[in-house]
Amino acid sequence: MKSIGVIRFPGTNCDRDVIQMVQAKGLQPVVLWHKDLFEPSQVDALILPGGFSYGDYLRSGALAARSPVMKSVREFVSRGGPVLGICNGFQILTECGLLPGALLKNQKGRFNDDWVDLKVENTKSHWSKHFEARELRLPIAHGDGRFYADEESLKRIEDQGQVWLRYSVNPNGSIHDIAGVNDATGRVAALMPHPERALFDWMGGHDGWSFL
């Protein structure tokens, strides 16, 4: 059975949902704490869930990116391990430099809580291998989800095929409608929408299953 590490920071609030998604897929969740190092061979993949790590103090994801566990995350990535960031997890991965760009406050400064339609731009990402369609519908819930990169970085992201997902209708002002990106290897990826909240019809949709 494959094991999926789920990292908890102070203020993480989507970890239980992610754990239940992992279990429902027949995989083994392993809870990893922000203050502890872990052995990379302990897990087969990592997920950084959503929430408000360290209360979003200073900047969303900024303090979590400097927590002890991220040293082990970097080592895991260096060994070829796949990592998925969801919402706050996306913010953390950009803050620590494992993904390009930055997540800024939403356009008009509003917290967005809604469902969005997404276009799948990159099916070669490790986290796209179970996708059966090029369009997805997932919920969002964020105040700092506006993806930004300077002109040079944005060109590199686009040219290297690092845009993973785009919004069909942009909800937050993200540059080039970007909802998710991956690194150059395709193993590290993140998105602002929440797949763990889209597993069953009673939730509003079931496209979240595609991510595991």
Look at residue 108 and tell me whether its pLDDT is greater than 90: no
CB-side exposure of 160: number of CA atoms within 13 Å?
16
Distance of CA 42 to the CA centre of its chain: 21
What DSSP designation does 110 have? P
Q: What is the DSSP letter of 111?
A: P
Statement: residue 1 has pLDDT above 80: no
- The fold adopted by the segment(s) 3-211 is Rossmann fold (3.40.50)
Asked if 83 and 98 count as a contact pair (C-beta separation under 8 A), the reply is yes
Q: Which helix (H) or strand (E) holds 48?
A: strand 45-48
Rounded average pLDDT over 134-140: 97
Question: pLDDT per residue over 74-105, tens digit each?
Answer: 999 999 999 999 999 999 999 999 999 999 99
The residues assigned a catalytic role are 87, 194, 196
pLDDT of residue 127: 96
Q: Give the model's confidence band at 162: pLDDT under 50 very low, under 70 low, under 90 confident, else very high.
A: very high
Question: Which pTM does this prediction carry?
Answer: 0.97
